[in-house]
Amino acid sequence: PTVWCLVPAAGRGTRVGGDCPKQYLPLAGRPLIEHTLERLATHPRIAGLLVILDATDTRWPGTTMLNGKPVLTTIGGMERSDSVLAGVDALPDVVGVADFVLVHDAARPCVRLADIGKLIELAGATDGGLLGAPLRDTLKCADSAGRSESTEPRDRRWRAFTPQMFRRAQLSAALREAARRGVNVSDEAMAMELAGFAPLLVEGAEDNIKVTTATDFALAEFLLARTAT
Cβ atoms of 131 and 137 closer than 8 Å: no
Closer by beta carbon to ligand CTP, 212 or else 215? 212
DSSP 73-104: EEE--SSHHHHHHHHHHHS-TTS-TTSEEEE-
Q: Which of 45, 159, 176, 210 binds ligand CTP (CB under 6 A)?
A: 210
Q: Which residue is nearest to ligand CTP (CB)?
A: 11
> Backbone phi, then psi, for 75, in 5-degree steps?
-100, 135
List contacts with Mg ion (CB under 5 A). Answer: 11
**Omega within 30 of 0 (cis) for the link into 199:** no
DSSP category for residue 186: S
Q: How far is the CB of 217 from ligand CTP (least distance, A)?
A: 13
Site string for ligand CTP, 18-57 (x = CB under 6 A): ---xxx----------------------------x-----
DSSP category for residue 146: S
The answer to the question of residue 13 lying near ligand CTP (CB under 6 A) is: yes
Q: How far is the CB of 162 from ligand CTP (least distance, A)?
A: 8
Closer by beta carbon to ligand CTP, 151 or else 212? 212
Cβ atoms of 67 and 41 closer than 8 Å: yes
Cβ atoms of 95 and 20 closer than 8 Å: no
Closer by beta carbon to ligand CTP, 28 or else 122? 28
The answer to the question of residue 76 lying near ligand CTP (CB under 6 A) is: yes
Q: Which of 10, 40, 46, 85 binds ligand CTP (CB under 6 A)?
A: 10
H helices then E strands: how many in the chain? Answer: 6, 12
Q: Which of 35, 49, 83, 166 binds ligand CTP (CB under 6 A)?
A: 83
Buried/exposed code over 134-147 (b: 16+ C-beta within 10 A; e: otherwise): eeeeeeeeeeeeee
The answer to the question of residue 107 lying near ligand CTP (CB under 6 A) is: yes
Q: How far is the CB of 65 from Mg ion (least distance, A)?
A: 29
User: Which partner, ligand CTP, Mg ion, none, binds residue 118 by CB below 5 to 8 Å per kind?
Assistant: none
Cβ atoms of 15 and 213 closer than 8 Å: yes
> Backbone phi, then psi, for 133, in 5-degree steps?
-150, 140
The answer to the question of residue 208 lying near ligand CTP (CB under 6 A) is: no
Closer by beta carbon to ligand CTP, 79 or else 99? 79
The answer to the question of residue 105 lying near ligand CTP (CB under 6 A) is: yes
Cβ atoms of 10 and 51 closer than 8 Å: no
List of residues contacting ligand CTP (CB under 6 A): 8-15, 21-23, 52, 76-80, 83, 105-107, 210, 212
